[in-house]
Chains A and B, each alone.
Chain A
Amino acid sequence: MSNTVLLAIDGSRGSDRALTHVRKRAELGGAKVVVAYVIEWSPYSFNTPEENAERHSRRETEISRATTSVVEPALTYLTEGGIDVESLVRHGPPSETLIKIAEEVGAAQIVIGRRGESGLKSLIFGSVAGNLIQTSPVPVMVVP
């Protein structure tokens, strides 16, 4: 069985807790960690012509911002613990994209922090962790 863990991060406090948790577990069990940052995006949205024309450069900015401010610090933190790491930044619908990545890298588990949003807010915006639990083909660990 693969010993790869997919860690989904977004720079939130919940995702920081998940990061800490994954480092502890990986140090004990020697797992490989794939860090993924999914930038929420849908190919079926409606945009102005201007937004479309600038989309390509906007995408690059989004990726580099996610990489430098969230992904790289996480990689450094995990490497410090002597963990074998890899990273990915991708656009897409969050839970679907995470599942796709999990399949691509052959992850045995997905770890995600939770935002702890309840009630109305999660009803409107949905919850990535909640969706993952319902749809993921591999076990999902939600770090509180």
Chain B
Amino acid sequence: MTRIFYALLALLFVALPAQAGIDDTINDITAPIASFIGTVVFFKVPFAGAQLPLVVLWLVVGAVFFTVYLGFVNIRGFKHAIQLVRGDYADPNSSGEVSHFQALATAVSGTVGIGNIGGVAVAVTVGGAGATFWLIVAGFLGMSTKFVECTLGVKYRTENPDGSVSGGPMYYLRKGFEERGMAGFGKFMGTFYAVGIFIGALGIGNMFQSNQAYVQLNTVAGGALDGYGWLVGLILAALVFAVIIGGIKSIARVTEKVVPFMAIFYCFFAIIVILMNLTSIPQAIANIFTGAFTGEGVAGGALGALIIGFQRAVFSNEAGIGSASIAHSAVKTAEPVTEGYVSLLEPFIDTILICTITALVIGTSQVADPNFANGAQGVAMTSAAFERQLSWFPLPLAFAALLFAFSTMISWSYYGLKGWTYLFGEGERGQTIYKLIFCAFVALGCVVQLGPILDISDALVFLIAVPNILGLYFLAPLVRAEMNAYMARLKSGEIKKFKN
């Protein structure tokens, strides 16, 4: 067995030079498919001189509605969210169960991915500095959408016979509509969502991640990996394979523990870079505001900046997509709405903190030297911004990017799998098939260019948002009632703190 393995490995290296063109071939095949999916899902309507994709409108309207309908829960619930995460209200009798902190940490490490490093650069390149402003607004509004999603996720989760929990939009869509006497429609929506998430997982949580991880590795290697995307792809796919099929869970466990520290490390040095660009800060902030409302130099003006900002924010914090609700529903709590509060912090950490920091790193570098990136895009652009001040940073950044990408891929493989098992049951063989497809897409992500990947990923992600947000509208009254009842009990002192 080992001999065969080495033989194959040798063959691979012999074949290397001959196969360097493989990347181009695959890219040529996939690009038209991607742009087709992109046009269909991103059905755009001309609006005030800009091209407004309907799905983006769908997400914005949803987020604004939930924010207003729940009386700005994203602001009012913030303090309580922190108390909950700290464990102030944790019942000592449920020690050993999944805590609010753990559910949040798991969901955050699924959302903090390459989108926070590379996606922001894309937003700034396409939408100008002003996109940053709308990115933050989107993060702020997205907090309310998350609140609704995660409350419902916990409320309608299913406890399996083996004691494990399954939750997420497919469950709340089905059961929620069933309760409202629309069982047939609920079943349809649950299925729609499940199909969406298991296909969607191949884009945002897979190809985009592996693609950008490869790009950053290649940047650090000084372009030595040009044309070898397929090889990097295979290695990444093998690592993911080892975890999700090989059952080498320890890799995932280690990643999960390292990611939070990498995020802190990243933010720490990002702030240092911003401070090193001190003189450029006022101008960078001014650019963000003027760009947001005038849309200077951006296709579609201010509206163009808004669209891009929202698109990239959702791509990063996943509000409205429902994915995080799958992770949040594992929490142990008697009050579903508490997890809603906790989940508010997720877009806050992901978008309002980390994405803004990245945007400022890029923005201040741009002010200091408009050509700092030399035409680099995505994560490579962010890397260039860091490199201007800290020449050694691209290497640890590549490591961080790789870890972020990896943990996000592992989380999404789980989300996708939950969609799959919802549809096809827990059968081992089916699960393995899905996992194999997932690994194949990891490899593919390193080969295809960023443009088509973004087209496919965006399209798939927003496709899942359609059934999810539609369901959220229907179930929002329930969430509001639950929130008000909980708040009343909290005020009257019926719900007590266990810690002081």
Binding site for B on A (CB under 8 A): 39, 41, 43-57, 59-60, 62-63, 90-92, 97, 100
Contacts and interface: CB of A to CB of B under 8 A. Distances in A.
A46 B96 contact: no
Interface string B464-475: 000000000000
Contact of A44 (B92, B101, B166, B327): B101
A102 to B, nearest CB: 14
A15 B458 CA distance: 58
A39 B96 CA distance: 8
B356 interface: no
B92 A52 contact: no
A41 B326 CA distance: 23
Contacts of A49: 106, 110, 326-327, 330, 411, 414-415
B456 interface: no
A41 B95 contact: yes
Interface residues of B, number: 38
A57 B256 CA distance: 21
Contacts of B330: 49, 52-53, 55
B95 A56 contact: no
Contacts of A53: 164-166, 330
B105 A46 contact: yes
Interface string B33-56: 000000000000000000000000
Given A49-B106, A52-B106, A56-B98, 6 more contacts: A43-B100, A44-B102, A46-B106, A52-B98, A54-B163, A91-B96
A124 to B, nearest CB: 16
A57 B102 contact: no
B164 A48 contact: no
B256 A56 contact: no
B428 interface: no
Interface string B380-422: 0000000000000000000000000000001100110000000
B253 interface: yes
A48 B92 contact: no
A52 B326 CA distance: 11
Contacts of A57: 162-164
Most buried by B among A45, A56, A57, A59: A56
B327 A43 contact: no
A44 B97 contact: no
B81 to A, nearest CB: 16
B103 interface: yes
A100 B90 CA distance: 15
Contacts of B102: 43-47, 52
A10 to B, nearest CB: 16
Main secondary structure of the interface of A (DSSP, over half): helix
Given A49-B106, A55-B330, A43 B410 contact: no
Contacts of B105: 46-47
Contacts of A51: 249, 253
Interface in B149-205: 159, 162-166
Contact of B163 (A56, A91, A97): A56
B435 interface: no
Given A56-B163, A56-B165, A57-B164, A46 B256 contact: yes
Contact of A52 (B95, B96, B159, B327): B327
A48 B163 contact: no
Interface string B226-259: 0000000000000000000000010011001101
Contacts of A55: 96-98, 330, 332
A41 B94 CA distance: 12
What 5 A-B pairs come out closest when comparing CB atoms? A91-B96, A57-B163, A43-B99, A52-B330, A91-B95
A54 to B, nearest CB: 5
A38 to B, nearest CB: 10
A45 B244 CA distance: 21
Contact of B96 (A41, A47, A100): A41
Given A41-B96, A90-B95, A46 B260 contact: yes
Q: Which of A44, A49, A50, A90 lies at the interface centre, i.e. has the most chain B CB atoms within 10 A of its CB?
A: A49
B95 A46 contact: no
Nearest to B331: A52
Given A53-B165, A56-B97, A46 B259 contact: yes
Contacts of A48: 106, 249, 252-253, 256, 410-411, 414
A35 B178 CA distance: 48
Nearest to A55: B98
A54 B260 CA distance: 22
Contacts of B260: 46
A60 to B, nearest CB: 6
Contacts of B332: 55-56
Nearest to B324: A49
Nearest to B415: A49
Given A46-B106, A46-B257, A52-B106, A59 B165 contact: no
A43 B106 contact: no
Contacts of A63: 96
B109 interface: yes
Contacts of B164: 53-54, 56-57
A59 B96 contact: yes
Nearest to A63: B96
